């Protein structure tokens, strides 16, 4: 895949009793081919409900993504 994204992190959260999937990414535009690939490869329940561009992902002191932030 040819994408401009440098980092991507997806998480699920229950909102009002309904599970939602959020994808956060860093590093430029999310190209349509990436979304098309996700739609072709993933079941509908795993496709992101929201895709959010960020300047940087929150990190823990050890360098891993802080998924609680």
At 34 the pLDDT is: 75
* Per-residue confidence (pLDDT) for residue 1, from 0 to 100: 46
Bridge partner residues of 24 (DSSP) = 9, 52
The reported pTM is: 0.73
Q: How far apart are CA 25 and CA 6, in angstroms?
A: 7
pLDDT by position in tens, the chain (length 69): 445 668 888 888 888 888 899 888 887 776 667 778 888 998 988 888 888 888 899 999 999 988 887
What pLDDT score does 68 carry?
82
Other beta carbons less than 10 A from residue 40's beta carbon: 7
What CA–CA distance (Å, rounded) separates 39 from 33? 10
Asked whether 37 and 1 are in contact (CB, 8 A), the reply is yes
């Amino acid at each position: 895949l040819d994408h401009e994204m440098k980092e991507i992190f997806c998480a699920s959260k229950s909102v009002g009793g309904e599970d939602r999937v959020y994808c956060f990414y860093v590093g430029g535009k999310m190209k349509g081919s990436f979304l098309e690939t996700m739609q072709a490869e993933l079941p509908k329940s795993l496709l992101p409900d929201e895709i959010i561009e960020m300047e940087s992902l929150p990190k823990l002191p050890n360098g891993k993504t802080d998924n609680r932030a």
